[in-house]
Amino acid sequence: MNNMNNMNNMNNMNNMNNHYNKDNNKNVGKNRCNNGKKSYTTTNDHKLGIKTTYAFIKNSIPFNFFHMVNNIYVTNKFKTNQWFSLNNKKEFGTNKEKPNFLTNYKIIKHPDKLESEDCCLNDQGFIAVADGVGSWIKYGINPRKYPEKFLQLLQKKINENENIQIEELLNYAYINNDKEGSTTICLIIFNKNDNTVSTANIGDSQFLIIRNNQIIYRSKPQQYEFNFPYQLGSNAVSKPNDADIAHIEVKKNDIIVVGTDGLWDNLYDSQILTIVKENNFATLSEKIANEAFSYSKMKRWMSPFIKSYNKEFKCHKTGGKMDDITVSCAMVC
């Protein structure tokens, strides 16, 4: 990896092949433990021959898709007349012989950021989390705009056609997103006509399904290399058809935990299982997110991220990984 200590102007952007730290945008060398996530704009061009145009754009008037209440993002009343807050339970599905679903979620921003780059959406029969790649801020682009628009498009399309296939839904949001940036995405759709969920995952946001205090299904992170996740974006290397797609049977009282990498980088599955076992569902997302945030600040904690990093780069570091943390939980009832 090249060092970037001499980068003084943006005319050298097309030659960049270095890694940025996602959280504080500091340049790092390969021999140092780097908590930053690699993005298209700084790594892929030289490897994959993609011509990238870098541009500074003025921030447009933001679409008020999410608003924030005590670190909790809740959807506005747009398209439907229902909306969600952390302490409310929301039912999905109209056929009483089929399962309904309750959901809640929690977003905690990185302490050093003005706003979270994660977005989360719970709506009529589906939940989704998206993690915007922070490196885009180097080019005058708000990293939150792309995932925010992506979820907006998901909601629009599924409200138009609740029977849409999950592959078609991803493709629609990808094709019609006119924002600059990139994002990971994890999407769960609750099928009203049978006892299943359809899932799609691109990148290192993940989910697991818990039944009787045991994990019955776990998604796998998608990475080109360590800490370089698959991403959908305006200069995308990944495409919607790269998503891991699954159709999974669910049963009453199953718990689904969905999270961005800020969760999985700081907590092990066994810790999440303990939290699920010891807490009521109504506060589950909050409990899991708060626990992940606590561990992210620990200096002597061998976090999942640091454990993997030490293995990759022969380091001997300890500590959590500070990041935006988003957790969304669903329960079959």
More confident residue, 195 or 210: 210
Average pLDDT over residues 23-33: 35
Instruction: Please give the Cα distance from 83 to 160 (Å, whole number).
Output: 17
**Band of residue 162 on the pLDDT scale cut at 50, 70, 90:** confident
The DSSP string of 204-237 is: S-EEEEEETTEEEEE----EEETTEE--EETT-S
**Band of residue 237 on the pLDDT scale cut at 50, 70, 90:** confident
Check whether 225 has a pLDDT greater than 50: yes
Please name which of 33, 51, 40 lies closest in space to residue 17, comparing C-alpha atoms: 40
Q: Please check whether the domain covering 61-332 is classified as CATH 3.60.40.10.
A: yes
**Band of residue 85 on the pLDDT scale cut at 50, 70, 90:** very low
Among 65-74, 166-175, 320-329, the range scoring the smallest mean pLDDT is: 65-74
Q: Specify burial of residue 302 (Cβ count, 10 A radius: 0-12, 13-18, 19+).
A: middle
Instruction: Please give the Cα distance from 262 to 296 (Å, whole number).
Output: 8
**Tokens 């056609």 label which residue?**
161
Strands 72-75 and 244-249 turn out to be unpaired
> In this structure, what are the phi and psi dihedrals at residue 183, rounded to the nearest 5 degrees?
-155, 150
The radius of gyration of the chain's CA atoms, rounded to the nearest angstrom, is 19
Instruction: Please give the Cα distance from 174 to 80 (Å, whole number).
Output: 23
Within a 10 A sphere around the Cβ of 225, how many other Cβ atoms?
10
Give pLDDT, residue 154: 96
Please name which of 221, 182, 225 lies closest in space to residue 204, comparing C-alpha atoms: 221
Q: Are 107 and 118 in contact (CB under 8 A)?
A: yes
- What pTM value is reported for the model? 0.74
Q: Are 49 and 30 in contact (CB under 8 A)?
A: no
